[in-house]
Structure 1
Amino acid sequence: MKIITRLDELNISEKTAIAIGKFDGIHLGHKKLLKLILDQKQDGLKATVFTFEPSPEEFFVGHPVKQLFTRNEKRKAFEAMGIDILVEFPLNVQTAATPPEDFVKNILVEDLKADYIAAGCDVSFGDKGRGDQHLLKSMSRELGFELCLIDKVMLDGEEVSSTRVRNQVADGNIPMAKRLLGSDYSISGIVEHGNHLGSTIGVPTVNVLPPVGKLLPPFGVYSSIVVVGDRTFKGMTNIGRKPTVSSNNQVGVETYIYDFDEDVYGKFIEVKLCEFKRPEMKFESVEKLKAQMKKDIEDIR
Structure 2
Amino acid sequence: MEIITGTTKFHIDEKSAVAIGKFDGIHVGHKKLLKYILEQKKDGLKSVVFTFDPSPEEFFTGHKVRQLYTKQEKRREFKKLGIDVLIEFPLTETTAATDPEDFVRRILVGQLSADYIAAGTDVTFGAGGRGDQYLLKSLAGELLYELELIDKVRLDGAEVSSTRIRNEVADGNMAMAERLLGSYYSVCGIVEHGRHIGHTIGIPTVNIIPPEDKLLPPYGVYSSRVHLGGKVYDGMTNIGRKPTISEQEKVGVETYIYDFDGDAYGEFIEVELIRFVRPEMKFDSLDMLKAQIQSDLENARE
Matched with 1:194 is 194
Deviation at 1:104, TM superposition (A): 0.5
Matched with 2:86 is 86
Deviation at 1:7, TM superposition (A): 3.1
What is the one-letter code of the residue matched to 1:198?
Answer: G
> For each residue in 1:111-134, what CA deviation from the matched residue of structure 2 results, as whole angstroms up to 9, or x when unmatched?
110000000000000001000001
What is the one-letter code of the residue matched to 2:41?
Answer: K
Matched with 2:254 is 254
Alpha-carbon distance in 2 for matches of 1:113, 1:17: 8
Alpha-carbon distance in 1 for matches of 2:154, 2:6: 35
- 3-state SS of paired residue (2:224): strand
Matched with 1:136 is 136
Q: Does 1:179 align with 2:179?
A: yes
Q: How does 1:7-156 map to 2 (within 5 A)?
A: 7-156=7-156
Alpha-carbon distance in 1 for matches of 2:6, 2:190: 28
Matched with 1:161 is 161
Alpha-carbon distance in 2 for matches of 1:201, 1:212: 29
Q: Does 1:239 align with 2:247?
A: no
Instruction: Give structure 2 stretches of 5+ with no counterpart.
Output: none
Contact 2:207 2:254 in 1 (8 A): yes
> For each residue in 1:156-175, what CA deviation from the matched residue of structure 2 results, as whole angstroms up to 9, or x when unmatched?
11101111111100000000
- 3-state SS of paired residue (2:274): strand
Deviation at 1:144, TM superposition (A): 1.1
Matched with 2:264 is 264
Q: How does 1:268-279 map to 2 (within 5 A)?
A: 268-279=268-279
Deviation at 1:247, TM superposition (A): 2.7
Contact 1:185 1:272 in 2 (8 A): yes
- Identify the range of structure 1 (35-44 vs 2-11) with the bigger mean alpha-carbon deviation: 2-11
Contact 1:10 1:107 in 2 (8 A): no
- 3-state SS of paired residue (1:281): coil
Q: How does 1:274-289 map to 2 (within 5 A)?
A: 274-289=274-289
Deviation at 1:230, TM superposition (A): 1.1
> For each residue in 1:208-246, what CA deviation from the matched residue of structure 2 results, as whole angstroms up to 9, or x when unmatched?
001221100000000000010210111000000000102
Alpha-carbon distance in 1 for matches of 2:296, 2:61: 41
What is the one-letter code of the residue matched to 2:296?
Answer: D
Deviation at 1:9, TM superposition (A): 3.9
Matched with 1:216 is 216
Contact 1:207 1:253 in 2 (8 A): yes
Deviation at 1:8, TM superposition (A): 4.7
Normalising by structure 2, what TM-score?
Answer: 0.98
Contact 2:244 2:283 in 1 (8 A): yes
Contact 2:33 2:119 in 1 (8 A): yes
Matched with 1:204 is 204
Deviation at 1:142, TM superposition (A): 1.9
> For each residue in 1:161-213, what CA deviation from the matched residue of structure 2 results, as whole angstroms up to 9, or x when unmatched?
11111110000000000000001100010000000000010110000001221
The CA RMSD over aligned residues, in Å, is 0.8
Deviation at 1:6, TM superposition (A): 3.4
Alpha-carbon distance in 1 for matches of 2:9, 2:243: 48
Contact 2:8 2:89 in 1 (8 A): no
What is the one-letter code of the residue matched to 1:235?
Answer: G
Normalising by structure 1, what TM-score?
Answer: 0.99
